[in-house]
Structure 1
């Protein structure tokens, strides 16, 4: 069953707000819980990580490189089908040490056991 873009947005936008809040406040346990245990994070053309713990560890490491940071999203598009909802969005990564970095990301969230979690997270700077 396909979802309308509005239905997908109504599911995912509130989760995205909580995810970004957790990320921007370094609430690592909460960030880890947003990722499926078998999740992957791909930096397009550069690298890939497997598993929610490895992904959270990479976010923790960014603090050393960037200092304090805040992720903001814009121009978001939502889609969904069955137990999957997706977001395609632009983002700004405002950092203390390296200024503002911009890029795009796509996340695929999967509903499992009544809860949505990020299964695939792909970005490019």
Structure 2
């Protein structure tokens, strides 16, 4: 979307369906190195574009990454808890169950915020 290309157009350029592109975007399916390289070629971005703000990497000048606003995500995903939660979450195959986990975490976070404001 950032580059103005639809999932369908990207899929056509790669010889795959837009549904497969959706699965890549959602993290349902993993992307192999050669496919990632082809995606980068079609989008006219370096492969490193997909790793901006990743732990251990510096974003390239002119990239589309949000500099500081996403750093808390990188910090969390670099933490022991973030790694454990991420590894466990991606093993959940049922999309409805993943959505319920997200809803549960949001509900817990909301209730903690409410209890913090009452103190």
Structure with greater helix share of residues = 2
Higher relative contact order (CA 8 A, sep 6+): 1
Structure with greater strand share of residues = 1
TM-score by length of 2: 0.29
TM-score by length of 1: 0.28
Which structure has the larger Rg over C-alpha atoms?
Answer: 2
